[in-house]
Amino acid sequence: MPRLNTDSPRLLFWGPTLIWASTWHVILYQIGEVPALNAVAWRFALASALLFCISAWRGESWRPPARLQPWLMLTGTVQFGLNYWGVYEAERYIPSGLVAVLFSLMVFGNAATGAWFFGQPITRRFAISAAVGVAGVALIFWPEVVSTGARPQAMTGLAIGLGAVACACTGNALTLRLSRQGMPLVPVLAWGMGYGALSLLLAAGLSGMGWRVGHTPAWWLSLVYLAAIGSVLPFLLYFKLIQRKGPGHAALTGVLVPVIALAVSAAFEGWRASVLSLVGMALCLGSVYAATRPVRPAG
């Protein structure tokens, strides 16, 4: 299998950003036929199988030491189970735009875990740029944000959404920890997505929902896309970026994903930008540029 040029920071950043932005539209073909809990479980089950195949193809050992299995189970359950389940559950109570705003806060959560656990400093420029980026995401979805108070269970949705963000940040830190213990990244993600899928299938079974699959070509094609293109490739690039630039830098992808996703929505779903959303998009783009541009040497 040809290896990607992971020496390119642009590929590591823009690859996941562009791919995850496209998944916002593709997910619509999944949740229309089966419950979201089932759809996410099958997505990560297939992605896990593909990653195990890639690991075997590359000759990497995919059998971790027994002492790491509990950590892999915890990582997968938190990152690919509770995190994604929380996203879909939160959207039952609050607008999807507010969920996007909450997830843009990952830039602070990831930066904090990088500083606390891995000694990666948070610069003043990064903190200010990240705050501007989050403000930009909030402006994009401002009508949805201000309408949240009218929903009777908005606080429940906010709590679940923030819990999902915490799970995502924790999962990022755990994955980085495992990769730093000498386990190759591909097997780490393969086991993690596998355990995440199992946790979601267990939740579906215990809830009485059962294990359902779609029956249309669009459902199966979207499943393959979300697993192979929307999960395997971007997560490999994303965690390579975390390894090189740190969790906070990688989380800046969450500031740009809504901008590009709405451009896709404008092309395929008829979404129209308002003046406020255009200002928000400009702030998002400017903040990422400011946070990632090279620092000129003094003198």
CB distance 119 to 167 below 8 Å: no
Model pLDDT, residue 247: 87
Q: What is the DSSP letter of 116?
A: H
Half-sphere exposure in the Cβ direction for 60 (13 Å, CA): 18
Write down the pLDDT at residue 169. 93
pLDDT of residue 94: 81
Is the torsion defined by CA of 93, 95, 96, 100 positive or negative? Answer: negative
Residue that has been written with the tokens 């980085």 in this structure = 176
pLDDT, residue 149, reads: 67
Q: What is the pLDDT of residue 207?
A: 85
Q: What's the rounded Cα separation, in Å, for the pair 74 and 171?
A: 8
The pLDDT, as a whole number, for residue 295 is: 59
Report the C-alpha gap between 109 and 182 in whole angstroms: 25
pLDDT in tens, the chain (299 residues): 445 455 678 889 999 999 998 887 788 788 778 888 899 999 999 999 999 999 999 988 888 888 999 999 999 999 999 998 888 888 778 877 778 888 888 989 898 988 888 888 888 899 999 999 999 998 988 887 887 767 778 888 889 989 999 999 999 999 989 988 888 999 999 999 999 999 999 999 998 888 999 999 999 999 999 999 999 999 999 999 988 888 888 889 989 988 888 887 777 767 787 898 899 999 999 999 998 876 555 44
d(CA 110, CA 175): 12
The tokens describing 6, both together, are 């992971």
Q: 99-110: b or e for each residue (b if 16 or more CB lie within 10 Å)?
A: bbbbbbbbbbbb
| Per-residue pLDDT, 267 | 75
User: Phi/psi zone of residue 271: left (φ > 0), alpha (ψ -120 to 50 degrees), beta?
Assistant: beta
| Domain locations in the chain as residue ranges | 12-292
DSSP string, 122-188: --HHHHHHHHHHHHHHHHHTHHHHHHGGGSTTHHHHHHHHHHHHHHHHHHHHHHHHHHHTT--HHHH
Alpha helix stretches (DSSP H) within the chain: 9-26, 28-31, 36-57, 69-76, 83-90, 96-104, 106-118, 124-140, 142-147, 154-180, 185-206, 217-224, 233-245, 247-251, 253-268, 275-292
pLDDT at res. 2: 46
Judge whether 276 and 142 are in contact, CB under 8 Å: yes
Residue 256 CA, distance from chain mean position: 12
* C-alpha pair distances (Å), 111 with each of 20, 123, 265: 20, 10, 30
Q: Given this model, what pLDDT does residue 248 score?
A: 86
Q: What is the pLDDT of residue 298?
A: 45
User: Distance (Å, rounded) from C-alpha 186 to C-alpha 44?
Assistant: 14
